[in-house]
Amino acid sequence: MKIDVLTLFPEMFTPVTEASMLGRAREKGILDIGLHNIRDYTQDKHNRTDDYPFGGGGGMVQMADPIFRTLEDIGAQGKRLLYMSPRGRIIDQPMLEELAEEEEVVILCGHYEGVDQRVLDYWQAEEVSIGDYILTGGELAAMVLIDAVARLIPGVLGNKDSALDESIYSGLLEHPQYTQPRNYRDMEVPEVLTSGNHRRIDLWRFEQSLQLTAQRRPDLLLEYAKQREKLGKEERRLLDSTLQAYDLYRII
Ligand code: ADE
């Protein structure tokens, strides 16, 4: 997957895109991130990228021309353009899964009071947000998007990790995890996890996931319950008893 990013601060990206999973995905050639500095496409001697808003008001607006030139130079015509903005549609996992199917995506990061609307209209940008809060610019939001999409591209995660997403757990919050030592400052690892009985372990984890989801995100559990019929007999029994225990049964 090729992701081109238009930004005034390309240097913000390198620590994130060079480290960990993203760095490895790039080395393997699965992910190609092109960073483009909008300031390089200015034509005036002060390299200005912004100006006062027509109609007055505080703040500055990013001018159309340097962004148009960058988009033209990288050949963004016909490609999907995402504009990171708190005005946008909030990203969720189904949207990321759909994005991960794309061959090429272009991401525009805004600053100040945003970009000239004509950029968004002409290039048919999709505005996307990472949540109901305001950042100083779109860069951190773009990195969140890139990270979350990248882990869905085949080959980026190890097989074991990716398989988990397909499992019956998807749509539920993750169960608790423990590692060595078994006893840490008098706190024991739950006995079932050291029992060696894999069926018991799976059912315990599933039940923990159900209960956490019921407590913290009942909305997700109700959504999950729609696929009740697809579950095995014991899993279905656990789902039903969790719904009952948290008084969610009456809602479905
Ligand atoms: N730019 C500023 N705030 C943002 C947000 N919440 N999501 C995406 N881009 C942003």
Ligand 1 pocket mutation pick from 129, 132, 140, 143 by most atoms within 8 angstroms of CB: 129
Taking the C-alpha atoms of residue 109 and residue 38, their distance in angstroms, rounded to an integer, is 10
Q: For the packed helices 198-216 and 233-245, what is the interaxial angle rounded to 10 degrees?
A: 30
pTM of the model: 0.90
**What pLDDT, in 10s, does the model give residues 15-56?**
999 998 999 999 999 999 999 999 999 999 999 999 999 999
Pocket of ligand 1 (CB under 6 A): 84-86, 129-131, 133-135, 138, 141
Whether the pLDDT of residue 165 is over 60: the answer is no
In which residue ranges of the chain is CATH 1.10.1270.20 found?
183-251
If one compares 125 and 163, the residue with the highest pLDDT of the two is 125
**What pLDDT, in 10s, does the model give residues 124-138?**
999 999 999 999 999
**What pLDDT, in 10s, does the model give residues 46-80?**
999 999 999 999 999 999 999 999 999 999 999 99
Q: Ligand 1 mean position to 129 CA, how many Å?
A: 5
If one compares 107 and 250, the residue with the highest pLDDT of the two is 107
Whether the pLDDT of residue 5 is over 90: the answer is yes
- Average of pLDDT values for 150-177? 78
In which residue ranges of the chain is CATH 3.40.1280.10 found?
2-157
Taking the C-alpha atoms of residue 213 and residue 210, their distance in angstroms, rounded to an integer, is 5
Contact, 142 vs 191, CB < 8 A? no
Place 162 in a pLDDT band, splitting at 50, 70 and 90: low
Best CA proximity match to 112, nearest among 167, 166, 58: 58
Q: Ligand 1 mean position to 142 CA, how many Å?
A: 9
CATH of domain 2-157: 3.40.1280.10
- Average of pLDDT values for 90-106? 96
pLDDT of residue 157: 87
Place 12 in a pLDDT band, splitting at 50, 70 and 90: very high
Which fold, 183-251?
Trp Operon Repressor; Chain A (1.10.1270)
Place 113 in a pLDDT band, splitting at 50, 70 and 90: confident
Place 178 in a pLDDT band, splitting at 50, 70 and 90: very high
